[in-house]
Amino acid sequence: MQLTHKIALCPTLEQADYFARACGTARRVWNWALDAWNKQYAAGQKPNAMALKKQFNALKYNDPQWHDENGQPWLKTIHRDAHAQPFAHLARAWSRFFTEIKAGARRAPDDKRLCRSLRKQGVKLAYPPTFKKKGRCFDSFYVANDKFSISDHSIRLPKIGNVALTESLRFDGKILGATVSRTAERWFVAVQVEVTDAAFQRPRTGHGVSGVDLGIKAAATLSSGETIESPKPLKAALRRLKIRGRRVSRKVESAKVAAGFAPHARLPKGTRLAVSNNRKKSSATLARQYARIAHIRADFIHKLTTRLCRENQAVVIEDLHVKGMLANEKLARAISDVGFGMFRSQMEYKAKRYDTRWVIADRWYPSSRLCSVCDWKNEALTLKDREWVCPQCGMPHDRDLNAALNLKRLATVTALPVASPSSNGGATAERGSAVAGEVTPVRYECGQQDTSGQEKNRAHLHALS
């Protein structure tokens, strides 16, 4: 199994300068390769990343386009991995694009507004790779595994030597490669490690079955009745974000006025405003705030997903059709605050890690509408109704808890509509035998709460599935 550990770096000024130049190189080479690809494609040829790389290698030290002001090939000052890897990345980007097209997606039009309205209509779009823009793109470059070495709190990188790490590498195994990247003026290295299955697996501490309703009021409602709120620092950080955003936009507005435009005027395309030092500083502060929010979210979701996988032998969550809901402007903010997309991708590998069965309930399964006691369907339920009483059995329901209970039943009761096993490589799909909707072997349901040895639990699950 592959795991990645992302560690913050403490580079010296010279090292940070090298990082910035290496990122710039990777970006420029990507743009060159994409441009060449597009030209060949337009000319009716079949572009190929390896052939493009050969072409590039033939010209990179000779073409004056790649020479500095002294006529020297500046690519020689940057380690070659930084200018070789963009070709592999480009090949992967195109292959992903064509796979999506083959799966029925439509090529996204250039007009962003048109894209948005198409997505709202539920059209699946495939986005071709785009050019990277300085200051706007994610800055990163690659280093192959034989070009660097890691010791306790430092990494030795080509051309610049030892760079201090804020922590030591967490995983033991074969190192596959590393990517250095920048977020809000801080540098990070993500080290990919191939670990053995034994090192990858983690013992589970419980073997419950949990239905999880991811929501807006509470970030998650568990079928045990527990609600998990989204983290409080997030709210404070969002307020700070607004303030810092205003500070930047005030500086943009005054730059507009200084350039002779009316305040709040829409600028003609391609206009470049002067960027003052104060604007740079406040933009950097804003970027740090965004990064902080992203970190708080990631931390919260990591803890939640680890807990769900660690304590349960089966977890059922709902396919919220996140993208469709994001199209609903009112819900969009609340949902992206919780980070559902991240939730899903983390569940994917952690379920394998803890050997937890993980099921995504079908998008059309009415988890909120069904009464979790008698199965009566409340057709009149709207998003606003937080609580309702079942007219058939008289049971009062909390909307989220009722949904969580219904999701849990999906894992344990056959009579309910069949849920789809997670389609994208979740633990369920891998094991093959586990078709969701079948009765899950659940000790908990038989009243045998036993939290003893993990190995025993696992054997039990395998024996019955």
Contact (Cβ atoms closer than 8 angstroms) between residue 30 and residue 90: yes
What phi and psi, each to the nearest 5 degrees, are found at residue 401? -65, -40
* Residue 164 within binding range of Zn ion, rule CB under 5 A: no
* Residue 390 within binding range of Zn ion, rule CB under 5 A: yes
Q: In the complex, what is the shortest distance from the CB of residue 177 to Zn ion, in angstroms, rounded to a whole number?
A: 55
* Residue 389 within binding range of Zn ion, rule CB under 5 A: no
* Residue 286 within binding range of Zn ion, rule CB under 5 A: no
* Size of the chain, expressed as the number of residues it contains: 465
| Interatomic CA distance for residues 294 and 257, integer angstroms | 33
> Which region, judged by CB under 5 A, interacts with Zn ion, from 85-93, 111-119, 385-393, 451-459?
385-393
SS3 content of the chain, % helix, strand, coil (to 5): 45, 20, 35
* Edge-to-edge strand ranges of the sheet holding 312-318: 227-228, 220-222, 208-214, 312-318, 357-361, 420-421
Q: Which is nearer to Zn ion, 290 or 376 (CB)?
A: 376
| CA dihedral of residues 11, 15, 19, 21 (deg, nearest 10) | 150
| Interatomic CA distance for residues 346 and 336, integer angstroms | 16
By CB under 5 A, name the one of 1, 287, 373, 429 that touches Zn ion: 373
Contact (Cβ atoms closer than 8 angstroms) between residue 238 and residue 227: no
| Whole-Å CA distances, 301 to 133, 146, 236, 368 | 30, 34, 18, 23
Identify the CA nearest to 209 among candidates 360, 409, 344. 409
| Interatomic CA distance for residues 388 and 375, integer angstroms | 14
Q: Which is nearer to Zn ion, 216 or 395 (CB)?
A: 395
Q: In the complex, what is the shortest distance from the CB of residue 444 to Zn ion, in angstroms, rounded to a whole number?
A: 23
* Residue 370 within binding range of Zn ion, rule CB under 5 A: no
Q: Which is nearer to Zn ion, 155 or 370 (CB)?
A: 370
With a CB cutoff of 8 Å and minimum separation 6, the contacts of 211 are: 222, 223, 315, 316, 317, 403, 404, 405, 406, 407, 408, 409, 410, 411
By CB under 5 A, name the one of 371, 405, 411, 434 that touches Zn ion: 371
By CB under 5 A, name the one of 376, 431, 443, 454 that touches Zn ion: 376
Q: Which is nearer to Zn ion, 114 or 374 (CB)?
A: 374
> Which region, judged by CB under 5 A, interacts with Zn ion, from 129-137, 198-206, 319-327, 373-381?
373-381
Size of the site for Zn ion (CB under 5 A): 8
By CB under 5 A, name the one of 114, 393, 435, 459 that touches Zn ion: 393
Q: Which is nearer to Zn ion, 407 or 427 (CB)?
A: 407
Q: Which is nearer to Zn ion, 195 or 373 (CB)?
A: 373
Assigned token pair, 286: 């804003």
Q: In the complex, what is the shortest distance from the CB of residue 297 to Zn ion, in angstroms, rounded to a whole number?
A: 36
* Residue 8 within binding range of Zn ion, rule CB under 5 A: no
Q: Which is nearer to Zn ion, 140 or 406 (CB)?
A: 406
> Which region, judged by CB under 5 A, interacts with Zn ion, from 66-74, 206-214, 270-278, 387-395?
387-395
| Interatomic CA distance for residues 85 and 178, integer angstroms | 11
> Which region, judged by CB under 5 A, interacts with Zn ion, from 228-236, 315-323, 383-391, 435-443?
383-391
Contact (Cβ atoms closer than 8 angstroms) between residue 130 and residue 12: no
Query: Helix, strand or coil for residue 376?
Result: coil
* Residue 374 within binding range of Zn ion, rule CB under 5 A: yes
Partners of 161 in the β-ladder: 157
Q: In the complex, what is the shortest distance from the CB of residue 220 to Zn ion, in angstroms, rounded to a whole number?
A: 24
Q: Which is nearer to Zn ion, 390 or 405 (CB)?
A: 390
> Which region, judged by CB under 5 A, interacts with Zn ion, from 207-215, 240-248, 338-346, 370-378?
370-378
By CB under 5 A, name the one of 99, 149, 166, 392 that touches Zn ion: 392
With a CB cutoff of 8 Å and minimum separation 6, the contacts of 39 are: none
Residues at the contact surface with Zn ion, assessed by CB under 5 A: 371, 373-374, 376, 390, 392-393, 395
